[in-house]
Chain A
């Protein structure tokens, strides 16, 4: 498995502002994923972030709204830009450690409230 930390754990932001969420892993991983989970809902994949390449976004998510950086094999950031109340959600990063057969391990999440 992997130990994953996220910062911040929660935040309350005003509409129109941006928030950058950090994800740090205790080991080098190739594949990193960003998810959104709205209240009472399952997980929705935002994008896949592999080191050394541009993030791959899922349908309905665009780079201008959710820019992602992946500067090295242990770290990634997701920015939620120009926020609206509809962006209020829990944002989760996950990783697939080397040697894993597709398992993903999740960070603790960032609870975002937009007012």
Chain B
């Protein structure tokens, strides 16, 4: 079982819609969870971090964490063509893996006008 799994996509949504990106992780002791956005030819950019169960909102982005289900999601409201990118879920397991992030394979999102 992979450490971090994402819905493989690609995901295509119309402009103005809600894009939903999902991620599951295998280590129940994982402590920190991150979403990165990566435009083609660019490096990953941190857009959301979440550490406790529940929702965290930042502008049009909402991260949701359910540790019992080992599930993290990212919702993008009012999707814009500029949101078209690959979204990477990353998990910090803490403990002896200090600092190391485990990345999913990414979900490619296309927002069409």
Contact = CB atoms under 8 A, between A and B. Distances in A.
Main secondary structure of the interface of B (DSSP, over half): loop
A98 to B, nearest CB: 12
Contacts, number: 51
Most chain A Cβ neighbours within 10 Å, of B49, B51, B88, B101: B101
Which bracket fits the contact residues of B?
20 to 34
B101 A102 contact: yes
B105 A48 contact: no
Contacts of A77: none
Contacts of B98: 31
A106 interface: yes
Given A43-B103, A101-B32, A106 B43 contact: yes
Contacts of A55: none
A43 B105 CA distance: 8
A59 interface: no
Interface of B: 31-32, 34, 42-46, 49, 51, 88, 90, 92, 94, 98-101, 103-106
